[in-house]
Structure 1
């Protein structure tokens, strides 16, 4: 069992109180079939900001709290035990931290202040798990800036985003080093969006760029640096997905145990049945194993070690583990676990998607992990 420091435990306790006070009532409303608005979620965001949980992924020099990766993942794990987690604000993409002058005022300051939000457009309709090799969206330099043409898909966060950071090929003769990052404001007449409904009621978007014009300041981090910048964000995101999966699996496990103790069948509580005991024990063991690995990997990252291998491995292992734990919890609950009046059914959908986004399990296994081991 992983033992956190006193400071990390204090952060976990803080997040638990915020989630219990502000988010769990929203979960109850969601399970009753209500549609939650952005305004409904604002009290939790405001309370988190007042408690100092703001700009969590930003370095201290950008006004962040200077948290370690271990601390940030502990916050994420605790936050995602709720079906309606807090949307901590004030974050920006790592490639924007070095911006200066007008670029900083346009593409960094509003995000740090929480006045604007962003989303990333990387994957293409024919791309999937090979983003660098499959990027066909291209940007041509003009006297006034850049003109973008192409398409992106599976874009999450577009609905609430003010700006889309787009990966586009600016040099067709180069591989990853020919890809740049350009910022496109929502409402640009050259960018068209189509909603794509997903499992569990989620929505993603497909974006089409037709002679989409942006000015010279829209180029983030210099020409040819876009893919590297996106990968910086992606590695951290893989750790984050793993922590989310742990939080979901922990809550599903707790629900399974509670139901097994109180549900009576065939003359006694389910907790007395060997099949149920086996599912509970297997889930507990898997949770502890994955938690140990996650925070060990995060600790290596905090020491400045290269953890791309760990990020890929943990994203793969934790999402697969969460699937199994949720499945067992549903089995123990029976029909009650299959209704969308229970968070288990929602998580069953969500975690099926989690095995794909930020890189499918198979890509991580055979491209990220195998490549690192056999290099």
Structure 2
């Protein structure tokens, strides 16, 4: 791979950075002052993204999307993560949802594109989330011409806004991940669906429990073919892992910039911090961390654009990026001292925000030992 980004991708990064600086950074300052961010606050940025042709980044142009490559998507996510109040680019639809039949598209896909509906992806269960193939207990049993869904989910994001859920369920206990897991479209208000307790998380996130008790579904609730759900879900997670790497880059890069700016302005014991070897080492180590992670992340995106299997690379990006950004934010906060630990600094917010990157979309331990190491040693 030529690790020099194309002129088109560089221009895209520049455009997104300008949009973020104009529309989102003022909102970050508002957030850091303790004020709430409203839908009205977000509207100008969303309009600007649409006007710039950046709506539905991965969607084909036939659906009104920008049809960006994976490399370009990583570039956008990297720039977007530099701000505590990211820009919404709309039309975020998993690739497998595009394969719905015509009736399903009319009910779910097209409203998603028009930003009229929202969904939540429901996979993690109380029995565990790191081994979905072996641990999922939610099941769907065929009874006549209907499916009957029973089970529970936990730590599910976006439930508060979701109009429907994409539910991962076992349809063949013996096959499980080898053809026995299916995805189902389940309406929020379907009989037997119950939203459980809200679970506040670090990083200002709130997840929820979901319960399904004898939820009756017809064949139009099945996503794709029966038994193909595990592969579809894993494909979704690979994209999410690349996104985590891109977001980690954006946060870490801004942290390095803040470290440099602070070190060149702050005087301690009669000298600028920038003159002290320990500070220099901290900044250089952080810059190297960012640079190495960027190479791995963009290489994985480059491979995906060429239709190559990137499951191992996505796992590598996930654990390298999520651990890297934790180190860099920690160094940046340490350098800024009490000012960095105050919630009127983005560093204090990132300190908790980035910690969840090591857990969501597959813990780093699983990526390291179950994905990367297994691939190397098989």
Tell whether the structures are fold-level matches, with TM greater than 0.5.
yes
Structure 2 CA distance for partners of 1:144 and 1:32, relative to 1, 3 Å: farther
Between 147-156 and 314-323, the greater mean CA deviation after superposition: 147-156
Match of 1:266 among 266, 269, 272: 269
Match of 2:183 among 181, 184, 187: 181
Q: Give the match for residue 59 of structure 1.
A: 60
Q: Indicate conservation of the 8 Å contact 2:258/2:332, yes or no.
A: yes
Q: Give the match for residue 48 of structure 2.
A: 47
C-alpha deviations, 1:8-64, integer Å up to 9, x for none?
A: 111111111111111111111111112223343232122111211111122344443
Superposition pairs of residues 1-375 of structure 1, within 5 angstroms = 2-143=3-144, 145-176=146-177, 177-193=179-195, 194-375=197-378
C-alpha deviations, 1:207-266, integer Å up to 9, x for none?
A: 111222333311111211111111111111111110001001011111111111111111
Q: Shift of residue 188 of structure 1? A: 2.6
Name the CA distance, whole Å, in 2 between partners of 1:231 and 1:297. 16
Name the CA distance, whole Å, in 2 between partners of 1:101 and 1:188. 21
Structure 2: unaligned runs, 5 residues or longer? none
Q: Indicate conservation of the 8 Å contact 1:2/1:288, yes or no.
A: no
Q: Shift of residue 185 of structure 1? A: 1.6
Indicate the SS of the match to 1:65: coil
C-alpha deviations, 1:250-288, integer Å up to 9, x for none?
A: 111111111111111110211111111110011111111
Structure 1: unaligned runs, 5 residues or longer? none
C-alpha deviations, 1:90-147, integer Å up to 9, x for none?
A: 1222222122321121121111222212120011111121111110001123446322
Name the CA distance, whole Å, in 2 between partners of 1:127 and 1:61. 39
Indicate the SS of the match to 2:14: helix
Indicate the SS of the match to 2:88: coil
Name the CA distance, whole Å, in 2 between partners of 1:54 and 1:185. 25
Q: Indicate conservation of the 8 Å contact 1:170/1:179, yes or no.
A: yes
Q: Indicate conservation of the 8 Å contact 2:140/2:147, yes or no.
A: yes
Kindly tell me the number of residue pairs found equivalent between the two proteins: 375
Q: Shift of residue 2 of structure 1? A: 4.8
Q: Indicate conservation of the 8 Å contact 1:323/1:352, yes or no.
A: yes
Name the CA distance, whole Å, in 2 between partners of 1:341 and 1:191. 40
Name the CA distance, whole Å, in 1 between partners of 2:27 and 2:99. 37
With normalisation by structure 2, the TM-score equals 0.95
Indicate the SS of the match to 1:152: strand
